[in-house]
A and B are shown apart, each in its own frame.
Chain A
Amino acid sequence: MLLDRDFRRLHTPWVVINLVLGSVLIAWYFLASIGRPEWPGGSSTVGLTLGIVGGLIILFEFLLWPRKKKRTWRVGRLKHWMAAHIWFGLLCLPLLILHSGFRLGASLSAVLTILLVLVILSGVLGLALQQFLPRKMLDEVPAETIYSQIGRVNRLTLQEANRLVEATCGPPEGPSTTSGTLFDEDFGDGTTEDQPSYMVVGAVRSAGRVQGTVLQTSAPVAPVPDSEPLRSFFRKEVIPYMKSGRRANSPLATRNRAEAMFRDLRTQLDPRAHPTVAALENACDQRRQHDLQVRLHVWLHGWLLVHLPLSIALVVLMFVHIYVAVKYW
């Protein structure tokens, strides 16, 4: 959720609600602590109230998960739910710290406190990352594709690059080392695609002031003599990089070095082979962008690996805490 120009319109009501509610409860707590030898704990009237409010907030926060699953539910717009989720989530931390009377207690309450802090911190981290990572992806990954399909897209691109190189360089002398299991793999739906004779790469095109991402098609050219350096380069550098990306530790992973390598390759080839070189360069650029997209995707969504399971554990142990606290208050 971007805290952008719509912030004031969407978030202000929730900010106000939480400020008022939080101020009243916190003020009540400190007033109740006057004259006491120690901070009121969870069994005091004010402490119990704060605990109940905090617990209800936690349950409300947890309801965002099913709400997002059932988008057709007519229970308020999701963006309002998200705004409420953010501000109520921030409010429940001070409320529950006051509920504890600034005491960590035994392992159950200590675990609950730690879980609460981690859940809130992970949520805040996620919210912060969501403010600039999408923009970064938009700016630096014009070849963005669906995250789960990155591997498939790159395999397709590699296949197409191989055919393009073969078409440019002509058939290899001796048995082909690029056939076999490397390129005859299933695409996951039980069928194999007809081998196209073109190559499609994502690219940025501008029309006036409008910029957009498009798929750029490169068609193979007729064989160009003396193109073995191209084939050799393709096999030694491009294939390993296209298959493994950053893990290949290839110089093609760095834009500047890739440009230099392709520039050097062009000097070794007939100009009629240069379009193929450009296509390969675009394919490697797409691979770099997809590598960046993977990293950004992990940052953008990785915090959920902490936030979600810990919040589930928090809710489960919260009910345990309620039971034992009521039993021995």
Chain B
Amino acid sequence: MQPQPPQKPQIKQRSLRIPLDYYKGRDRMARLRLVLVLLAPLLALGWWFGEPMVTGDRARLRYSKGEISNPHAIWETSCEVCHDPFKPMNSDVALASFIHSDTDQKCTSCHQGPSHHTYQLDALTPGCAECHRDHRGRDASLLRMADTYCTNCHSNTPASIDSSKLTQVGSQVGYEDLNRFDRDHPEFGVRIIDSRGRETLLGRLEPGNEPKDPSNLKFNHKLHLQPGLGLNYTFAKMREEDREHYGWTDSSPLSSNVQLDCKSCHVLDSGDLAVPSDPGGVALANYPPRSSGSYMLPIVFENHCRACHSLTVGVPEPNQKPLEVPHGKQPDEVRRFLERAIAEQILGELGDTKAEDLSQEQLEALELGKKDVEAIFRELLSEAAVKPGPTPEQAASTLGQQVVDRVERLEQSLYQGHQTCTECHLYEKPDQDPSLWEIKATDVPTVWFRHGGFDHSAHRAVRCAQCHAGAKESTISDDILLFGQDENGQPLSTLQVCQQCHSPAQRSSGDLVRGGVDFSCVECHRYHNGEHPLQGLGAVARTATHERSIGEFLRGVVSSNDKAVSAE
């Protein structure tokens, strides 16, 4: 076929190279874009509504702010256990002042949080979730919070107090402002409960201006920490069963001096209390098992003192055990004890005598004594008192008078000298008659800082003298031995002792020379129930408002049939 002759193109032909309606179609990219645009919302909504079909409640974790802490992890997928839908969680969020929320009630249904102080301003009192913020991970602490939560009020305490409430409560505040522990925390204060039952600031532990503890006790630390207790007290004088407890070994001669140290008396656990001579121990019955180890257990005579300070009186007869007066009795109770004991002794002596050698009175007493010796000799004493004009010899011959005389001599050794009771105790003496005296109750606090916590077991690797440097030189019990000293022997206040570790880390040539330990407020202080500082987590004020069955607990619900837990 022959090729056609050349032809010039017409304008219309050239214009039709591109169709006029080309724009109505989509090129490949436009089609792909359209597909993606249609897929995008489908995928997004598909993910949102589809995942719950596969994972159930765990799909709620997609909008959880973060992992729930361990104590609350059981309800991680049950938001309504804590959250009130469409209501603010805490008072710190937007619009919280306009919308009431029951979130705090949800918290207190399991654990109440009594107010810090009744006289604090309501406007500055945060809700539960404002301080206790969850959704920070499994291991996050709900209790540790930044100092700003505390210093919001305590940097300007007067402005944080509702003065009208203060008048009603009638308490004294007596707090100093601070912003940071290592910079402006005041010297630690010692507070006691006064005679009106109110907490009173005894004083602040400032060097050279230390308050004294009205302990009503006489105790000499210095003497007790010397070898032989300053009196050449040897193991030979101690009961055999107690020696090992106070450091004697088989290789030590009995003539060696007893040497006490802090741990001889100050223990953290009741398992370390009992001395062999008193295995049951009066004190043990009063201590709960498994002590927390925070505070030293109270000093109790039976467990800490009795091994050396036996309360024996009188000179026993051969083959007779010494008469030991029980501790913890007032003089009138001691008298009755002595009368009974002496009466039993005398009756016992009578029992060894032949009947024909006894008077009628003695026989009757012996016979009746089998029933109630003490009652009988009270009767005899009263008869002796009304019998007309007995001569001293005649008076002394009555059994009742014998008891009186011997009791009087024993009371002299108990109260008049510097031994036994008088060695440690102070008396109210309204009369000459010792049975009318009253031993002043001792008042040595177990917890010195009522509003600040301290854990001895956390500090067990530090020597006692680092924080209680005055013990070896203290001769009176009124000394509050809460001072330390630096490495040069210079005295440090309690606050300064704590700040040696609880402050920002300071290094010299790479070595840590000071600080490094947490010094946040919550390290030592607690917020809730501030007006009952010695109550712990088990106090009724902190219990749940609603009790549940296990099933309800797992579901985080409160049955409407459950009664709220009453204060009783």
A: residues with CB less than 8 A from B are: 35-38, 41, 43-45, 47-49, 103, 105-109, 145-149, 152-153, 156, 163, 166-167, 170-171, 187-189, 193, 196-198, 200, 215, 217, 219-221, 223, 297-298, 301-302, 304-305, 308-310, 312-313, 316-317, 320-321, 324-329
The stretch that binds A, out of B89-97, B335-343, B418-426, is: B89-97
> When the two chains form their complex, are residues A223 and B3 in contact, meaning their CB atoms are under 8 A apart?
yes
Q: B553 interface residue, CB < 8 Å from A?
A: no
Instruction: Return A46 CB to nearest CB of chain B, in Å.
Output: 8
Interface members, chain B 49-87 (any A CB < 8 Å):
61-66, 79, 83, 85-86
Do residues A316 and B41 form an inter-chain contact, with CB atoms below 8 A? yes
Q: How far is the CA of A83 from the CA of B313 in the complex (A)?
A: 105
Tell me whether A329 and B93 are in contact in the complex, defined as CB-CB below 8 angstroms, given that A167-B3, A308-B37 are known contacts: yes
Distance in Å from the Cβ of B213 to the closest Cβ of chain A?
38
| Stretch with Cβ within 8 A of A (4 or more), from B145-153, B245-253, B255-263, B467-475 | B145-153
Number of A-B contacts (CB under 8 A): 145
**In the complex, what's the smallest C-beta–C-beta distance from B295 to chain A, in angstroms?**
30
Q: Could you tell me the distance in whole angstroms from the C-beta of A36 to the nearest C-beta in chain B? A: 7
Q: Find out whether the CB atom of A148 lies under 8 angstroms from the CB atom of B8.
A: no
A156 and B17 in contact (CB under 8 A), knowing A146-B22, A217-B9, A221-B6? yes
Contact of A308 among B36, B61, B65, B148 (CB under 8 A): B36
Q: Could you tell me if B9 and A304 are in contact, using CB atoms closer than 8 angstroms?
A: no
CB closest chain-B residue, reference A188: B19
A-B contact pairs, 5 of them (CB 8 A): A108-B62, A166-B3, A187-B19, A219-B8, A316-B44
B354 at the interface (CB under 8 A from A): no
State whether A35 touches B148 (Cβ < 8 A).
Answer: yes
Chain B residues near A49: list those with CB within 8 A.
Answer: 94
B33 at the interface (CB under 8 A from A): yes
Measured between C-beta atoms, what is the minimum distance from A112 to chain B in Å? 10
Q: Does B14 contact A (CB under 8 A)?
A: yes
A187 cross-chain contacts in B, Cβ below 8 A: 19
- Docked complex Cα distance between A309 and B43 (Å): 10
Q: Which residues of B contact A325 (CB under 8 A)?
A: 63
Let me know if A326 and B39 touch, CB within 8 A: no
Q: Is the CB of B1 within 8 A of A200?
A: no
Chain A residues contacting B152 (CB-CB under 8 Å) are 35
| Contact B66 A105, beta carbon cutoff 8 Å | yes
Q: B64 contacts A106, CB within 8 Å?
A: yes
Q: A149-B18, A297-B29 are in contact. Are A106 and B40 (CB under 8 A)?
A: no
- The reply to whether the CB of B139 lies closer than 8 angstroms to some CB of chain A is no
**CA distance in complex: A320, B46 (Å):** 12
Kindly supply a per-residue 1/0 record for chain B positions 114-156, scoring 1 wherever the CB is within 8 Å of any chain A CB and 0 otherwise: 0000000000000000000000000000000110110010000
Contact call B6/A37, Cβ cutoff below 8 A: no
Q: Within 8 Å CB of A153, what residues of B? A: 17-18
Q: What CA separation (Å) do A197 and B36 show in the bound complex? A: 44
Whether the pair B18, A317 counts as a contact (CB closer than 8 A) is no
CA gap between A153 and B17 in the complex, in Å: 7
A197–B5 CB distance below 8 A: yes
A155 CB to closest chain B CB (Å) equals 11
Whether B9 lies near A302 (C-beta < 8 A) is no
The answer to whether B14 touches A200 (Cβ under 8 A) is: yes
The smallest C-beta distance from A119 to any residue of chain B, in angstroms, reads: 11
Contact A171 B1 (CB under 8 A): yes
Q: Which of A163, A171, A328 contacts B2 (CB 8 A)?
A: A171
List chain A residues, Cβ under 8 A from B32.
305
CB distance from A221 to the nearest CB of B (A): 7
Q: Which of A44, A109, A309 contacts B94 (CB 8 A)?
A: A44
Contact A105 B65 (CB under 8 A): yes
Is the CB of B27 closer than 8 A to any CB of chain A? yes
CA of A198 to CA of B8, assembled, Å = 7
- Cβ < 8 Å to A, chain B residues 405-448: none
* Given A149-B22, A317-B44, also A220-B92 (CB < 8 A): no
**Contact yes or no, B6 A220, CB < 8 A:** yes
Distance in Å: Cβ of B65 to nearest Cβ of chain A: 6
Inter-chain pairs besides A37-B148, A153-B17, A171-B3, 7 sampled, C-beta below 8 Å: A49-B94, A152-B18, A163-B3, A220-B3, A301-B29, A312-B37, A312-B41
